[in-house]
Structure 1
Amino acid sequence: MELRNLRAFVEVVRQGGFSRAAKVVFATQPTVSKAVRQLEEELGTPLLERIGHRHTLTSAGEAVYRHATRMLTARDELLSELQDIQGLRRGTLQLGLPTIGSNTLFAPLFAIYLHRYPAIDIRLAEHGSVQLEEILRAGNIELAATLLPVSHEFESQAVRKEPLVALMPANHRLARRASVKLDDLRTEPFVQLESSFALNRIILQACHRRGFEPAVAARSGQLDFLTALVAAGLGIAFLPRLIMDERRQAGLAHVLLDEPDLNWDLAMIWRRGAYLSLAARAWLEIVRDAHSKEQAPEPGTKPQQPSGAPRPPSRRRRP
């Protein structure tokens, strides 16, 4: 059983078709079709069933897909470990970042990382936190930035914890307040990010704890459009203070959300027990250093390393 045939099959499933899969594996569509056909012939059973313009998995296909993803992940982990033998003179950092907040928090860290390790190739995936967790779970990236809390299947390293602000029109009845509670907003329509953002889940759970279901007037995955919807009077949005402090604009008010159990708690996460390449560990070291400085511990105290965090590599470069 050849890994390239398994990879072609897995990408056909992930991408939803042969044409898209061909682009991902850098092959022609006939080549991908041939690879899947060879795999079916070798296993003696069809793996995909064509229904209209879609391909769905057969029962055998579901089993093969499940095992193939694990085999390909194990292959990638082996290659990463072999790269580590060469130190950080070469390698790849496979990283997932959210589309909101990354320019503020991570752009300076990229500058530090590339200065220390200029030969490392960075492969970046940018999505909402929910989708990033799925990509990480599938083994397509090593690290992802998402909001806490997360499933026990992941380990984490803190990045930044920020209070939320309620974003509302400047002429709103609550706009002049220093802070508001969720209960103050229970009758207001909400303008939310798309469902792929973990912040939606966190806000919804907080509303449920307070006994109400918020009315959602609109959703958007674009920060500029979301703030424009709020300015137009469609409803209230919730975003981290750090981001909104840099985006103040006429016609909008930022009111602190006074809820101790409701914060934008960003962390880097990775699969529990997974092997992390030295490139990934080097990134975590930089994130840890930045977080320690942000926390500004008292003199003589040592920042606490999160449970399960891998030991960082030495900063010394090999000759």
Structure 2
Amino acid sequence: MKLRTIFTTLCLTLVVAGCGSANTEETNIASKEVNEYGVEESTAEAITVSIEEQYEAMNSGDLESVLSYYHEFDEEDQTDTQDFIDLHPTITLTSLEVVYVKDNEALAIVKGKVMAQEYNENDNINQEFTSATIFHNEEAKWLEGDSYNMEVIYLDGAGTRSDDFYHIDNTETIQAKIDDIKSNEILPSEYMIVEENLLDEAEKSWESLYGLYTIESADQIGDILSNTFLNPADYSEAYQSLADTYLSFEYVDIESNFHSGMITANDDSAFSYQAYVSSTGITESGERHTLDNGIFKVDMAKDENGEWKIAYLEQQ
């Protein structure tokens, strides 16, 4: 289960071979076993084996082996994976359906369950998840690429649903994306490049807004709002009223964390998304304080200079 999250593909299932002579002609048609989505069973089985082996490596704490099942990863992915392993999780694959294959990419619906060795309500990873995940075939091995959370139900220490946590349900939105990929017969990774770029722009707006926690004068609020919002005047009164609160913080740095971002609509000049966003304040002595977190619905639009800004912001 790669910690940043996405998609997969459809394949032809008929192999036709023919041979003939001057007097006779024979055509042999060999049909391969396929699943209900038209994907060869052998492909689905190979991907299932790959993800099961990855989960086994995760459960045993073998970071190097886990990373060998990733299509690509950077230093952040490696750190996140190690942090996850340090929680001593047990990951179980419940089911895997390959719904689309094109060239060397496959899109699968993966369902599973995660349980930590010890339950920690402040860092709860216990969950039942459904994700749409891209797999890449490299040298006859299927490797996990990006993945999107379709549904996440958080569990308590006993493994039952806990309503103390916000449950994620992006099933309808992601299913529409899967249908779009299949109907247009495009590579899942190509489809997602555009959305990843938009989410990068969305994350930048949060990084700008969190600069409020490190301001040294109330005058800086106006500059931050101008860099963040399409219509900063609509938010100015509310944020200026919090000036004394922001000035009371003594953070030298802010980390903004953008989790489970999901584009819900987009065109050339505007897009909408929902995401779980949190921030951590870091003091001069290195202490870390959780500042806020929540699910936000946001509309983004380009200003007169072509820069992406927040046009509408609402906490769910």
Q: TM-score, normalised by structure 2?
A: 0.26
Q: TM-score, normalised by structure 1?
A: 0.26
- Could you say which structure has the greater relative contact order, defined with CA pairs below 8 angstroms and 6 or more residues apart? 1
Higher-helix-fraction structure: 1
